[in-house]
Structure 1
Amino acid sequence: MQDKSRAPARLRADGDSLVLVQPIRALDQTRGAALVLRYPMAQALAPYRPLMAAVIIVGLIGATLVAAASWALSRGLAKPITALDEAARRLQRGEEVSVEVTTHDEIGRLAESFNLMADEIREREADMVHQALHDAETGLPNRRALERAIQDRLIGLAVGEQVVIGTIGLDRFPQVRAAIGYELATQLVAKLGQRIVDTVPGLIVGRLTTSILCVVSTTTDTEDVLARAEALLPSLEAPLQIGGEPVDVHITFGLASATKADIDASRLIEHALIGLDQARATHGKMMVFDPVAYGDPASNLSLMSEMLEAVRNGDLFLNHQPKLDLRSGQITGVEALVRWNHPTRGFLRPDLFVGMAEETGHIRALTDYVLTQAIEDQARLRAAGHEVLMSVNVSGRLIDDQGFAEHAIAQVMAAGANICFEITETAVIGNPDIALAVLARLAEANIRVSIDDYGSGLSSLAYLKQIRADELKIDKMFVTALESGGTDALLVKSTVDLAHSLGMKVTAEGVETREVIAALQLMGCDLAQGYHVAKPLAVDKLVEFLDAWAIDLPVKTESRLSA
């Protein structure tokens, strides 16, 4: 049997006490015995309380240090990341931004990369802005940049100041470009722009179109600007060295001004461009935009719509002005003149809508209508027993239109009409090869060609020689001055002789008196047209006029041809 006195003691907690139980050998072998010791818990733990307090304090201090270190570490990481995030947001809004680099760790390298990216974005944006505001070929400010500059100046105008816009057009630029090439022609534009900048410091100079520059300035005296611009013309037109060779420069000015910001920049530029067109139309070197001559664009557009409607409805009509043969005394031809009695605007002069039809591209429709009516009126004259040559005015814009030519030829040949096309001498200047080919085709179809208003423009003997024309019409400004003699008489006489030497007949326009008739006869002129012969007549009145003329031909001849 095991000796119970050697059994291990057991320690346990019992409420507020510690109990130690140690088995002992009993006197009575039949019963066990144990020694039980009870000790209060508080007294047992009393020696350990200072140690426990120290452990708790140390634990709290450790936890505090860990928390502080964690906070410091998170702050050290979060602050630069937050700064990067804010910088990225500002960069997204288009602001210029950079991040301060304070470390050389991963965060520092990230900040350096961000700054490099921001610099590249700024450079690209600056390049994009420059491209958006400058002409790629010349480096000059483009229209958008000019409009911004003009608008800024309009807004900032002081009392008495004006913004003046000048458009400078290189004359005959397509011909210059064809002669020297595209690249050198572009250099010509760029060098002209630089010449203007060097000549007049402080001007804003930009490129509006391929061949038109624009200058912007502010002034208190528009007349002074005009005088200075006129004085600068000779120096601006001095030849420029392009590709090592001198190239002649010929320019035309268009000007417009505004005294307050009641007009936007785009409209002001358009006014200056119109001024340039007006200068070229009058063969001048400079013109200030004339709003009266320009008219109302909305009204003009409406007028063209109404004209097309009138063409479709047959509301236009023709009057015919007779041409008198100065040798036979007979009426051998008439000129068809379009007329329009507008339902609300009243009678409209042809120059009010014909020129506009040319500019807006509607001249083909108008000319087709006039030709159709002229052929019909000629048929009525033939039915009444009168065979006369019917002349129709044809725009120079249609002479190099082969489609129009073929359509007109087919129409004339189908009707067996006796038609003459009156064109201006400058009609062949735009596309001479095509125009001369069209004129040759008209001659083959027995459609005669008359050169109208000879002497009113830039007469060219070279083109006159090439044009296969049957008739030359001397402009009325020379004819009406014949009575006074002088150089006009010499010019008319030399023109008659020149035309005859080229195989053409000569018609004098604007004949108002018998004295002019007599002078023309002495010069050998063939035909006369004007109010002294007859005013333009509707076809019914023309039939009556021709009937009366044929019946009383000797009297008519005497009254018209005798001085």
Structure 2
Amino acid sequence: MAKRRADDNYAARAVSRARRDLVTGGIVLAGIVIFAGSGWHYVGSLENLLGRTSHARDIGSSDRMLIAGMLLNLALILFGWRRYRDLVTTSSQRDEAEARATTLARTDDLTGFLNRRSLAEEGAAMIAQAMRRDKAVALLIVDLDHFKTVNEMHGHLAGDTILRAAADIIRKALPASAVSGRLDGDEFAVLLPFDARHTSTVDSIADYIVGALGQPLITKTVTAHIGASIGIARSESDCHSVEALLRRANIAMHAAKGAGRGRHAWFDATMERELVSRNAVEAGLREGIPLGQFVPYYEPQIDLETGKIIGFEVLARWEHPTRGVIPPDNFIPVAEECGLIADMSVSVMRRAFLEARDWDPSITLSVNIAPAQLKDPWLAQKIVKLLVETGYPANRLEIEITESSLFQNLSLAQSIVGSLKNQGIRLALDDFGTGYSSLAHLRALPFDRIKIDKSFVTAMNKDPESAAIVNAISRLGESLNLPITAEGIEDQGIYDSLRKMGCNKGQGWHFGKPMAIAATRRLLAEAGLLPSARGPLPDEGLAQKRA
């Protein structure tokens, strides 16, 4: 379709150029006709002159006029012809300049694809034509998964080379009826008509693009592994504009990325509902964190030998004013995605430190640090600042770091862990056994405790392999002189098995679910772990009402 539009523009310019050429050519032709009509007079007079060259003084005035007329007519013809050639050259140059300007205004100069505005124009015409022919139009958004890494590692010139190579792959996959465009950065769009009853054609094109971009892109300057995720939307009765298709395809593309990247996904209504829900959660986070709606809940940690409470793991809960208590699975992923996890974590830790600072000195708090927080070089200073402001003792705090988060920047993690250890804060390696280089991390970082992932603990009495893993980790902790905490203790049978293995600390629903502050204080009071004479904290009354 873009080629047809370009051909139409070229034809219009050709008609304009032909009109100018006709005027100039008419002048030349008139000169030739005049010369032909009167040339015999000039020739006769010229013969007489040649015959009387020796008697030049006998040339009459009429002969001189004829010679002058002939020379003037010849000059007119030569001038007209020269002017005609100049006009043709100038017109061609102008047409070429106009064509270049049109191309630059309509296309992306790096890839040659249409820009967003031109894509919308071509797409609107394609959708209208498809509707007349009882067909549908599919819009594919192709997003390069790891292109940012190419720019960071090799520079923007190498990135431009990879973008051109990716565009060539996309171009090769498309039929002649398709229109392609570059939306922004590493994001491309493709529009193509198809039979609404057979989506396999579109699936095949998407699969080819994903497969081809999943292979290493090898250029003269760089070899890159990028991959691609594709979202697809189709024109329907409630979606028949390019902008509406772009919106739906973008939603589908993010769903493809969320499902693991390197794949394509068609838009469906559930994706939009999930997006609306996700955006509502983000808005609630932004509003609720400053208002103190995110509060600590406490899960008991038990000495498995004595059965006594020795600490609590602090878990975030959202006490929503209208929806009640919202579990973390509903908001933690969104908080991490939109960059609010650190603010929420600080808010929850501050409240927990204030509530727990006067508990029995034997009671510790365990706080889990999100992977995104380990990217902050000031994390240790922020935690120490909270301890100073709240008066909570550093030796009663245990920071839990998940094994998977250490892969991102081990050197920074070492710096953070070292700073925390210097303040007397203890460190635990959380979800042990789910990563890939646990022993290396135990050597590189001064952990005080290992926490066995609950997926192994809950299955240990039913799955021999899980039991073997739990037993091996317990033996490893014993050999390294590192205490073990087992998560996910849900019944007496698991409790008894862990005691036989020598595991000395555990937590799980067998001992109690995470509790609000009021229930936690009752539990501590029953165990004699609260001071007898104590006034309420300033916000304790509010916390008790919430509980």
Match of 1:278 in 2: 255
> Cα gap change, 1:126/1:316 in structure 2, threshold over 3 Å: closer, same or farther?
same
In 2: Cα distance, 1:177 partner to 1:496 partner: 45
Which amino acid in 2 is paired with 1:242? T
1:192 aligns with 2:135: no
Q: Which of 495, 504, 507 does residue 529 from structure 1 map onto?
A: 507
What pairs with 1:78-97 in structure 2 (closer than 5 Å)? 97=16
Q: Which of 321, 342, 345 does residue 364 from structure 1 map onto?
A: 342
Q: Displacement, 1:467?
A: 4.8
Which amino acid in 1 is paired with 2:235? T
Q: Which of 208, 225, 229 does residue 253 from structure 1 map onto?
A: 229
Moved more, 452-461 or 438-447: 452-461
Match of 1:393 in 2: 368
Match of 1:318 in 2: 296
C-alpha contact 2:252 2:271 (8 A) present in aligned 1: no
Match of 2:245 in 1: 268
Question: RMSD of the TM alignment (CA)?
Answer: 4.2
C-alpha contact 1:164 1:255 (8 A) present in aligned 2: no
Q: Displacement, 1:287?
A: 5.1
In 1: Cα distance, 2:400 partner to 2:143 partner: 31
In 2: Cα distance, 1:224 partner to 1:460 partner: 46
Moved more, 311-320 or 293-302: 293-302
Moved more, 204-213 or 184-193: 204-213
Match of 2:536 in 1: none
Match of 1:222 in 2: 199
In 1: Cα distance, 2:507 partner to 2:138 partner: 47
C-alpha contact 1:160 1:259 (8 A) present in aligned 2: no
C-alpha contact 2:213 2:228 (8 A) present in aligned 1: no
In 2: Cα distance, 1:464 partner to 1:117 partner: 77
Q: Displacement, 1:433?
A: 4.2
> Cα gap change, 1:192/1:295 in structure 2, threshold over 3 Å: closer, same or farther?
same
Q: Displacement, 1:481?
A: 2.3
In 2: Cα distance, 1:500 partner to 1:94 partner: 86
> Cα gap change, 1:326/1:356 in structure 2, threshold over 3 Å: closer, same or farther?
same
Which amino acid in 2 is paired with 1:539? I
> Cα gap change, 1:311/1:285 in structure 2, threshold over 3 Å: closer, same or farther?
same
Match of 2:216 in 1: 239
C-alpha contact 1:390 1:419 (8 A) present in aligned 2: yes
In 1: Cα distance, 2:248 partner to 2:471 partner: 43
Q: Displacement, 1:548?
A: 3.4
Match of 2:103 in 1: 130
C-alpha contact 1:97 1:118 (8 A) present in aligned 2: no
> Cα gap change, 1:235/1:429 in structure 2, threshold over 3 Å: closer, same or farther?
same
What pairs with 1:133-532 in structure 2 (closer than 5 Å)? 133-158=106-131, 161-199=135-173, 201-202=175-176, 204-219=179-194, 220=196, 221-222=198-199, 225-226=202-203, 229-230=206-207, 234=211, 236-243=213-220, 247=223, 249=225, 251-260=227-236, 262-263=238-239, 264-283=241-260, 285-286=262-263, 288=265, 289=267, 291-292=269-270, 295=273, 300-301=278-279, 303-380=281-358, 382=359, 385=360, 387-414=362-389, 415=391, 416-417=393-394, 418-454=396-432, 466-496=444-474, 504-532=482-510
> Cα gap change, 1:119/1:403 in structure 2, threshold over 3 Å: closer, same or farther?
farther
In 1: Cα distance, 2:486 partner to 2:436 partner: 18
> Cα gap change, 1:339/1:173 in structure 2, threshold over 3 Å: closer, same or farther?
same
> Cα gap change, 1:196/1:498 in structure 2, threshold over 3 Å: closer, same or farther?
farther
Q: Displacement, 1:152?
A: 4.1
C-alpha contact 2:232 2:249 (8 A) present in aligned 1: yes
1:304-362 C-alpha deviation (Å, 9 max, x unpaired): 44444433333332211112233443322212222223223343232333332333333
Q: Secondary structure at the match of 1:243?
A: coil
Which amino acid in 2 is paired with 1:130? T
Match of 1:23 in 2: none
C-alpha contact 2:150 2:158 (8 A) present in aligned 1: no
In 2: Cα distance, 1:275 partner to 1:461 partner: 40
In 2: Cα distance, 1:440 partner to 1:109 partner: 86
Match of 1:27 in 2: none
C-alpha contact 1:252 1:276 (8 A) present in aligned 2: no
1:177-236 C-alpha deviation (Å, 9 max, x unpaired): 555554334333332332343355445555445444444444433366446745775555
> Cα gap change, 1:120/1:412 in structure 2, threshold over 3 Å: closer, same or farther?
farther
In 2: Cα distance, 1:549 partner to 1:458 partner: 40
Match of 1:68 in 2: none
1:456-475 C-alpha deviation (Å, 9 max, x unpaired): 67777666754554444444
C-alpha contact 1:428 1:436 (8 A) present in aligned 2: no
Which amino acid in 2 is paired with 1:238? Q
> Cα gap change, 1:262/1:324 in structure 2, threshold over 3 Å: closer, same or farther?
same
Which amino acid in 2 is paired with 1:410? K
Which amino acid in 2 is paired with 1:260? E
Which amino acid in 1 is paired with 2:258? A
Q: Displacement, 1:541?
A: 1.3
Q: Displacement, 1:442?
A: 2.7
> Cα gap change, 1:297/1:284 in structure 2, threshold over 3 Å: closer, same or farther?
closer
Q: Secondary structure at the match of 2:416?
A: helix
Q: Secondary structure at the match of 1:347?
A: strand
C-alpha contact 2:130 2:136 (8 A) present in aligned 1: yes
In 2: Cα distance, 1:456 partner to 1:162 partner: 46
In 1: Cα distance, 2:441 partner to 2:187 partner: 28
Match of 1:541 in 2: 519
Which amino acid in 1 is paired with 2:334? M
Unaligned runs of 5+ in 2: 1-11, 29-75, 530-547
In 2: Cα distance, 1:152 partner to 1:504 partner: 69
Q: Displacement, 1:379?
A: 1.4
Q: Displacement, 1:375?
A: 0.8
Which amino acid in 2 is paired with 1:536? P
1:383-441 C-alpha deviation (Å, 9 max, x unpaired): xx253222233332222123454222212244234333334334344555444433333
C-alpha contact 1:140 1:190 (8 A) present in aligned 2: no
Question: For the pair shown, which has the larger CA radius of gyration, 1 or 2?
Answer: 1
In 2: Cα distance, 1:443 partner to 1:502 partner: 18
Q: Secondary structure at the match of 2:490?
A: coil
TM-score normalised according to structure 1 size: 0.67
Unaligned runs of 5+ in 1: 1-92, 552-563
